[in-house]
């Protein structure tokens, strides 16, 4: 298993990765799994650098939540640090601790804040909570007061998403309270766009104006509003720091536009068996799809237990996802089972579709967002649901 070279961060201990260390050579390890996940760290670094160039002079952060969007938090964090990233965002305290272990000198923010009683844990670990409620603000200020110094944190203001973040009146009251402010070491003011993937959505303009008003309440505090889509399509929202997530990992961020990012994860499934089936016969559970022609079928050892979406299956009424084999796009046939998929490889030359061969489920030829669309979901969900049963190989360098 190849990991990114050391830079400002501590070398990654392979035992800390979510995927097991390979105890045997790659080819033999692949024999133990029905699917393999190849993660291109060079593509990850290139995507981040591209977004950083687009956002300049604003700083570009690294989002490593969701176990690094499914590729492994430690691998993602180390690679982005090697590429030049100095600010990271995790969702939970546990994720923040894992990221901080890789990049101890970096600023690591915890997007979901902290529960009651956990402020000291966050501070002692050197993490920066994103304060999204008055209760969190008061708890963090109280800790700073007790320690005799303001502690670094981000303040999240809600600008129209109605999720986390301080409402306008609460933010105003915090800004107007000198005693509270004195004990808050605010290093970032942030909000989150609800519709940046649709750049002309009217809510984007309303949120932008609301964020500008919030900035006026906290002059001098660095500001952050842009996610992946806004980094790509809404340059006015870049402010001091952008926070691209899915785009760094190769997913499509802006609807109805070409995706300029390189794929990072390639998922392949191994063919367990090639079989023949006649026209009029059905495939899989529920007889969901009936074959319209004599067909050659490849049974693949991946299913929804591996995180491949069940809704990506096919039926007589609705087409499913497609894979890629030997230069051919091959359609998924029937339902996705717990451990198995079936692809129609009738149009693939027989010698190129054999037991033991690998079909690309998504990656260089089949965008992960295409699979997601067939399942009625988004690429984010597909990536973050990638399971632990895959053989994983990290390739490339930052």
pLDDT at residue 204 is higher than 50: yes
Confidence at 13, pLDDT banded by 50, 70, 90: very low
Known catalytic residue: 249? no
Sequence-distant contacts of 225-229: CB under 8 A, at least 24 apart: 225/190, 225/191, 225/192, 225/193, 226/55, 226/58, 226/193, 226/196, 227/192, 227/193, 227/196, 227/253, 228/51, 228/196, 228/253, 229/193, 229/196, 229/197, 229/199, 229/253, 229/254
Q: Give yes or no for a contact between 313 and 335, defined as CB atoms under 8 angstroms apart.
A: yes
Q: 69, 109, 285, 394: which one is catalytic?
A: 285
Residues of the chain with CATH 2.40.37.10: 265-395
pLDDT of residue 44: 98
Helix (H) or strand (E) holding 395: strand 391-395
Q: Give yes or no for a contact between 35 and 306, defined as CB atoms under 8 angstroms apart.
A: yes
Identify which of 109, 72, 70 has the alpha carbon closest to the alpha carbon of residue 88: 109
pLDDT at residue 374 is higher than 70: yes
Residue 78 makes CB contacts below 8 A (sequence gap 6+) with 3, 4, 7, 9, 12, 102, 103
pLDDT of residue 103: 97
Identify which of 384, 356, 379 has the alpha carbon closest to the alpha carbon of residue 369: 379
pLDDT of residue 16: 40
Q: For residues 174 and 22, give the distance between their C-alpha atoms in angstroms, rounded to a whole number.
A: 52
pLDDT digit string, tens, across residues 219-235: 999 999 999 999 999 99
Residue 80 makes CB contacts below 8 A (sequence gap 6+) with 44, 45, 48, 62, 64, 88, 248, 398
pLDDT of residue 397: 72
226 burial class (0-12, 13-18, 19+ CB within 10 angstroms)? buried
Residues of the chain with CATH 3.20.20.10: 41-242
Identify which of 331, 301, 307, 304 has the alpha carbon closest to the alpha carbon of residue 319: 331
3-state secondary structure of 275: strand
The pLDDT mean for the chain works out to 92
**Class for domain 41-242, per CATH?**
alpha beta
Q: Give yes or no for a contact between 308 and 302, defined as CB atoms under 8 angstroms apart.
A: yes
pLDDT of residue 30: 67
Average pLDDT (313-338) is 97
109 strand-pairing partners: 89, 128
pLDDT of residue 28: 60
pLDDT digit string, tens, across residues 284-317: 999 999 999 999 999 999 999 999 999 999 999 9
pLDDT at residue 182 is higher than 70: yes
Helix (H) or strand (E) holding 87: strand 87-90
Average pLDDT (82-108) is 98
Known catalytic residue: 285? yes
- Compare 172 and 22 and report the one with higher pLDDT: 172
Q: Please name the fold of domain 265-395.
A: Lyase, Ornithine Decarboxylase; Chain A, domain 1 (2.40.37)
pLDDT digit string, tens, across residues 245-280: 999 999 999 998 999 999 999 999 999 999 999 999
Confidence at 29, pLDDT banded by 50, 70, 90: low
Q: Give yes or no for a contact between 228 and 261, defined as CB atoms under 8 angstroms apart.
A: no
The two tokens of residue 79 are: 């690679």
Sign of CA dihedral 133, 136, 140, 143: positive
Percent of residues, the chain, with pLDDT higher than 90: 89
220 strand-pairing partners: none
b/e sequence 177-186, b meaning 16+ C-beta within 10 Å: eeebeebbeb
Cα Rg of the chain, angstroms: 23
The two tokens of residue 254 are: 């802006």
pLDDT at residue 367 is higher than 70: yes
Q: Give yes or no for a contact between 306 and 345, defined as CB atoms under 8 angstroms apart.
A: no
Vertex 380: Cα angle to 378 and 385 (nearest 5): 105
Vertex 357: Cα angle to 371 and 379 (nearest 5): 15
* End-to-end Cα spacing for the chain: 15
Alpha helices, H only, 103-250: 119-124, 134-147, 168-175, 178-182, 202-217, 228-233
Q: 5, 65, 273, 304: which one is catalytic?
A: 65
**Nearest 10 degrees: CA dihedral of 318, 321, 323, 329?**
50
């Amino acid at each position: 298993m190849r990991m990114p070279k050391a830079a400002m961060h501590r070398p990654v201990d392979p035992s800390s990765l979510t995927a097991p260390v390979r105890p045997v050579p790659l080819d033999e390890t692949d024999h133990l799994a029905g699917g393999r996940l190849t993660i291109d760290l060079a593509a990850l670094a290139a995507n981040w650098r591209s977004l950083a160039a687009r956002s300049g002079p604003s700083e570009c952060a690294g989002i490593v939540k969701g176990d690094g969007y499914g590729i492994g938090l430690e691998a993602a964090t180390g690679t982005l640090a090697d590429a030049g990233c100095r600010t990271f965002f995790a969702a939970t305290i546990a994720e923040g601790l894992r990221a901080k272990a890789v990049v101890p000198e970096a600023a690591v923010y915890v997007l979901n804040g902290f529960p009651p009683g956990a402020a000291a844990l966050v501070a002692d670990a050197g993490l920066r909570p994103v304060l999204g409620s008055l209760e969190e603000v008061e708890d963090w200020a109280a800790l700073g007061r007790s320690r005799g110094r303001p502690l670094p944190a981000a303040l999240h203001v809600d600008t129209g998403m109605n999720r986390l973040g301080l409402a306008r009146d609460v933010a105003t009251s915090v800004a107007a309270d000198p005693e509270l402010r004195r004990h808050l070491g605010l290093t970032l003011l942030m909000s989150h766009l609800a519709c940046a993937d649709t750049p002309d959505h009217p809510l984007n303009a309303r949120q932008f104006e609301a964020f500008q008003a919030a900035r006026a309440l906290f002059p001098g505090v660095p500001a952050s509003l842009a996610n992946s889509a806004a980094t790509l399509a809404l340059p006015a929202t870049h402010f001091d720091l952008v926070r691209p997530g899915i785009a760094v990992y190769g997913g499509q961020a802006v609807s109805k536009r070409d995706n300029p990012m390189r794929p990072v994860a390639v998922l392949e499934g191994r063919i367990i068996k090639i079989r023949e089936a006649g026209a009029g016969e059905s495939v899989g559970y529920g007889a969901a799809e009936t074959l319209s022609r004599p067909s050659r079928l490849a049974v693949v050892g991946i299913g929804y237990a591996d995180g491949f979406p069940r809704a990506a299956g096919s039926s007589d009424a609705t087409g499913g996802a497609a894979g890629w084999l030997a230069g051919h796009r091959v359609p998924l046939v029937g339902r996705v089972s717990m451990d198995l998929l079936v692809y129609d490889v009738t149009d693939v030359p027989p010698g190129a579709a054999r037991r033991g061969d690998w079909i690309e489920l998504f990656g260089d030829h089949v965008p992960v967002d295409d699979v997601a669309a067939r399942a009625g979901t988004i690429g984010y969900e597909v990536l973050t649901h990638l399971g632990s049963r895959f053989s994983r190989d990290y390739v490339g360098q930052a």
